[in-house]
Chain A
Amino acid sequence: MALWLKRSYLALVYAFFYLPLFVVFVYSFNSNKYTTNWAEFSLKWYQSLLSNSALLDAALNSLLVAVCAASLATFLGTISALAFKRYRFFGRKALYIAIFMLTVSPDIVMGISLLIMFIALKIELGFFTILVAHTTLCAPFVAVTVLARLAAFDEQLIEAARDLGASEPEAFRHVLLPLTAPAIAAGWLLSFTLSMDDVLISTFTTGPSFEVLPVKIYSMVKLGVKPDVNALCAVMFVLTLVLVLLAQTISQSRRNQ
């Protein structure tokens, strides 16, 4: 294949990825209400977002859930990854397969399974249930990310620390944790993004008393193209962009140390 052909194929697929997002971004600054005709540059749709209190409430709820769920998921995922790496125990293989399956299982199945469990246990849908659901969604990803980092890790380092008199928890804290820190941080960022973006699981696991941003966006998006939705989507995209770049930087800087 000719070089220019290869390159234009790459460029074409990248254009496919980015063109729609770019168009949304551009139109979010369009003052025209009929979004497909350009009038002039304007920030009014961003202002209208800021005056939409129901939306802001949902955004705050989502931030709260995302921070809590990401932290819980990071804790659970990291602990399990360490246990998998370090110990042999009853059900280890089965649990490992379960984690793997959770990362690939369709979200809708996870959402309704949790919904059934919450209802069967007579737990009212709201902050608590969506927190549990998002933690369940994110923790396997953290576990897999941290395990991947640990796979490259030399077991003898721990043994050396133990030989030098470190207790098991000390060896974990001073040897394993610093080495896996970039993966743990990236896992947290990934979890945060997953939680902020999740429509499928949130639809089933939260009630009207606790609205979250993705479900709110979904209800707006369903009504078709609107300029303020463009602005909202642009904000969400930029947020994701920042998080991805942050995750990249963390991994890169650690590697160059």
Chain B
Amino acid sequence: MRPPVAGKGGSLFRGTSIGTTWFWLGAFALLPGLALLLVSVLDKGEIDFFIPVLTLRNYEELLGPVFLTVLWDSVRLAALSTLVCLLLGYPFAYRVARARPKWRPWLLLLVIIPFWTNSLIRTYALILIIGAQGMVNKVLLGLGIIHEPLAMMYTDFAVFVGLTYTLLPFMVLPLYASIEKLDPTLGDAAKDLGAGSLRTFWHITLPLTLPGIVAGSMLVFLPSLGMFYVPEILGGAKNLLLGTFIKNQFLQANNWPLGAAASTVLTILLVLMAGLYRFVSLRVSGRERKGLLPGALGDPDVMNGKKRRARDGETAGAKNAGGA
């Protein structure tokens, strides 16, 4: 991109727009981020939420059995949900991306609607399905398959279903974006050269859609660690998961520094996954993409299924990638 052409009103507009960008990102993103990091190495006070005494005690406490159990339970559930979303979502996204052009916008719209719908409401809706008096139990009892209602609520299973259900659209949309971009003739070529379906998938489709897979996994995995309301609505108070742990430090235990340290752990996971995304998307595109910013974290279209749809004018909307 060329530097701006100097001219009448140009420098003022330039200065204002750059200044505004710097201001809001600095004041509302950078500053709070630094505050979080700082509080995570402070001590908690008797009256104040934190006192200006530097310590690494919070991080030491995170290494204790309490937090490690919470972290392990959360990561296990999040990873399982991510995996199931991927297994359910990949063939689904593939079929949508390869549907007839006439149908495709409608099929996509039907994914975008739950994507925009409040996941709190969607979590609540699940109670009517998997609750003791829910649809599943009614159907199974009615068919005589079971004689007592299955206790699905307030179990790990319920939390797993809840996370999978609310976050599946976040997996499907990035997958769709990267599958749609894939040139179908590549697969045909592989088949002409004698590769079977499985081999074509393994050597062509899968590697080329890897950015979509990583992006989708990131958009499912990270929010499922932080969305405290899903386990709180479906799982009862039995499973203490990371999101609830962090929330409790701030709203109940008043141990802000510990909560800040736990959030820092979550942020580190975010940075690692973003790095992985950048790595695979650069490998797939083979070179840094032009058009957007050179060298930035890949282009955002795969990340949130937005760019392509916006460019095609289908929709420019995607919901909060960080977990609504």
**Residue B297 interfacial (CB < 8 Å):** yes
User: Smallest CB-CB separation from B110: which chain A residue?
Assistant: A14
Interface of B is mostly: helix
Excluding A83-B18, A144-B304, A170-B9, 13 further A-B contacts by CB distance (< 8 Å) are A10-B92, A21-B114, A86-B17, A98-B25, A100-B300, A105-B267, A109-B267, A145-B317, A149-B310, A190-B116, A190-B319, A233-B124, A254-B313
**Residue A4 interfacial (CB < 8 Å):** no
Q: Is the CB of A9 within 8 A of B270?
A: no
Interface of A is mostly: helix
A sample of 23 cross-chain residue pairs with beta-carbon separation below 8 angstroms, ordered by A number, consists of A14-B110, A18-B114, A27-B128, A36-B131, A88-B3, A95-B21, A100-B297, A104-B274, A106-B270, A108-B246, A112-B250, A144-B304, A145-B310, A155-B1, A168-B7, A182-B316, A193-B116, A194-B319, A200-B324, A204-B251, A214-B118, A214-B120, A236-B121
Which of A79, A96, A193, A222 has a CB less than 8 Å from the CB of B296?
A: A96
* Among A110, A247, A252, residue most surrounded by chain B Cβ atoms (within 10 Å): A110
Number of residue pairs across A and B with beta carbons under 8 Å? 354
Complex Cα distance A141/B310, Å? 12
Complex Cα distance A108/B131, Å? 27
Contacts of B291 in A (CB 8 A): 151-152
Q: Is the CB of B29 within 8 A of A247?
A: no
| Contact mask for chain B residues 281-314; partner A; CB cutoff 8 A; 1 contact, 0 none | 0000000000111011101110110111111111
Contacts of A76 in B (CB 8 A): 20-21, 24
Complex Cα distance A110/B322, Å? 9
Chain B residues with a Cβ closer than 8 Å to the other chain, count: 119
- From 136 to 160 in chain A, residues with beta carbon under 8 angstroms from any chain B beta carbon are 136-137, 139, 141, 144-145, 147-149, 151-152, 155, 159
A79 and B21 in contact, given A109-B226, A247-B315, A252-B314 (Cβ under 8 angstroms): yes
* Leading 7 A-B pairs by shortest Cβ distance: A255-B313, A148-B307, A168-B10, A20-B125, A113-B32, A186-B316, A106-B226
